[in-house]
Amino acid sequence: MGKSSILVINGGLQRRVHGLVGAFFKSPQLKAQVTADMQRLLAPALASWRHQGPGARLRIQDHAKTIVFQILVRGLIGLEAGPEMQQLKQQFQEFIVGLMSLPIKLPGTRLYRSLQAKKRMARVIQRIIQEKRRRRALDGPPRDAIDVLMGAGSEELTDELISDNMIDFMIPAEDSVPVLITLAVKFLSECPLALQQLEEENMELKMRKTDLGETLQWTDYMSLSFTQHVITETLRVGNIISGIMRKAVRDVEVKGHLIPKGWRVFMYFRSVHLDDMLYEDPCKFNPWRWKVRTSPTFGRDVDPIATPLGSTNMIEGFDEWVLWDSWHEKDMSTSSFTPFGGGLRLCPGLDLARLEASIFLHHLVTSFRWVAEEDHIVNFPTVRLKGGMPIRVTAKD
């Protein structure tokens, strides 16, 4: 990672890059673009599965990865699908492999190949930046994250910083959304009642929109409450990111335990999300548990989707404010549901992740029935499905 990567910098610059790109990722304009792009990319995939006839076998993880990568790259750097996108994907795969390798930088080693791949990616992105400058493409609303950072008019945000960060934004985003989609398909396959309710909710929306002669908008997908509960529950049970690190910037006391200045703390999400003091029968996939949660802390129903994470229950004294509080209170405070982290580093892609998963699930359940093959979740070094979640699909009439 570069020295100005959002994943390693602290202070004002991190806040600036996080704020600018995070706001763009939450904007209705980007959500509309992502929705249109995903519908466009899903259409040929759905047609080809249908064309293969009843019982066609496909690995959900592969298809989700292909589509999600294209959406991500378009949102970050504005590149359209095509040979250059393909090359970028290959280089990114090469780069990512080197992130968990022996730190030996000699020609032929994994790390060396990874850094070379990153350089090639950076060249493509810098060319795009220069092209944008030449064409003065910054007039009008931003179309991608490069536009946002270039348009901020800050001397700190150099071309090199922008291109490095575009690559580093891909690291937490590229795999997590496909894993979310794949896990949802696995959990739904094992819970026929949830699948049926999801299907009914999505079919109802599809038929309503068809009758009105309208195409689906991002707000339609996000308004599907049971679909959102399925995604929330998948995030809770799946623990796609296992936890987050924080460093104490001074001595901190937490519930009688002293954390000395300089110590690093790892917050392990699994121990929160699978805590039976917080969740009844915690290992069970139960989307209905999110229907109504009453919080003694807030004194009202709390929906974790609507409640902004990172706004409450924090302790001062870490390198940022951290989520750390009522893990053992039997309520639905924000710190008992933290798949996207919290505080100043709260994942800027959380809305996007939910939207992409909602769109993928909508098209899958309204177009196909499926029978899942057996597959297993692997949790180390990252969460994934061992076999990529193979299913046999049959098109609905």
Q: How many residues bind ligand HEM (CB under 6 A)?
A: 27
Phi, psi of 358, deg, nearest 5: -65, -40
Residue 283 annotated as binding site: no
Q: How far is CA 11 from the centre of its chain?
A: 24
In angstroms, rounded to a whole number, what is the distance separating the alpha carbons of residues 192 and 197?
9
Q: Is 336 in the site for ligand HEM (CB under 6 A)?
A: no
Residue of 349, 363, 391, 393 interacting with ligand HEM (CB under 6 A):
349
Q: Which is nearer to ligand HEM, 16 or 209 (CB)?
A: 16
Give residues with Cβ within 8 angstroms of 212, minimum separation 6: none
Q: How far is CA 362 from the centre of its chain?
A: 17
Least distance CB 377 / ligand HEM (angstroms): 15
The span of 91-99, 214-222, 299-307, 340-348 binding ligand HEM (CB under 6 A) equals 340-348
Contact positions with ligand HEM (CB under 6 A) in 65-94: 72
Q: Is 142 in the site for ligand HEM (CB under 6 A)?
A: no
Q: What end-to-end distance do the CA atoms of the chain give, in Å?
A: 49
Q: Which is nearer to ligand HEM, 142 or 339 (CB)?
A: 339
Question: Which DSSP string corresponds to 63-98?
Answer: HHHHHHHHHHHHHHH-PPSSHHHHHHHHHHHHHHHH
Q: Is 187 in the site for ligand HEM (CB under 6 A)?
A: no
Q: Which is nearer to ligand HEM, 96 or 395 (CB)?
A: 96
Query: What is the enclosing helix (H) or strand (E) of 210?
Result: helix 192-212
Q: How far is CA 282 from the centre of its chain?
A: 23
Is residue 173 a contact partner of residue 339, using CB atoms and an 8 Å limit?
no
Q: Is 347 in the site for ligand HEM (CB under 6 A)?
A: yes
Tokens matching residue 383: 């969460």
For 252, half-sphere exposure in the C-beta direction (CA atoms, 13 angstrom radius) is: 22
Q: How many CB atoms lie within 10 A of CB 148?
A: 24
In angstroms, rounded to a whole number, what is the distance separating the alpha carbons of residues 265 and 243?
10
Residue of 60, 166, 191, 240 interacting with ligand HEM (CB under 6 A):
240
The span of 109-117, 120-128, 174-182, 381-389 binding ligand HEM (CB under 6 A) equals 174-182
Q: Which is nearer to ligand HEM, 98 or 339 (CB)?
A: 339
Contact positions with ligand HEM (CB under 6 A) in 15-74: 18, 25, 72
Q: Is 236 in the site for ligand HEM (CB under 6 A)?
A: no
Least distance CB 275 / ligand HEM (angstroms): 17
Among 183, 241, 202, which Cα is nearest to 60's?
183
Residue of 6, 58, 230, 393 interacting with ligand HEM (CB under 6 A):
6
In angstroms, rounded to a whole number, what is the distance separating the alpha carbons of residues 397 and 253?
61
Tokens matching residue 92: 């990114």
Q: Which is nearer to ligand HEM, 348 or 390 (CB)?
A: 348
In angstroms, rounded to a whole number, what is the distance separating the alpha carbons of residues 301 and 293?
5
Least distance CB 85 / ligand HEM (angstroms): 16
Q: Which is nearer to ligand HEM, 198 or 267 (CB)?
A: 267
In angstroms, rounded to a whole number, what is the distance separating the alpha carbons of residues 204 and 321?
43
Q: Which is nearer to ligand HEM, 341 or 390 (CB)?
A: 341
Q: Is 304 in the site for ligand HEM (CB under 6 A)?
A: no
Least distance CB 38 / ligand HEM (angstroms): 13
**Cα–Cα separations (whole angstroms), residue 51 to 56, 60, 370:** 9, 17, 15
Q: What is the CA radius of gyration of the chain?
A: 22
Q: Is 149 in the site for ligand HEM (CB under 6 A)?
A: no
Q: Which is nearer to ligand HEM, 186 or 345 (CB)?
A: 345
Q: Is 178 in the site for ligand HEM (CB under 6 A)?
A: no
Task: Write out the binding residues for heme.
Answer: 347
Binding interface with ligand HEM (CB under 6 A):
6-7, 14, 18, 25, 72, 169, 172-173, 176-177, 180, 240-241, 244, 339-343, 345-349, 352-353
Task: Write out the binding residues.
Answer: 347
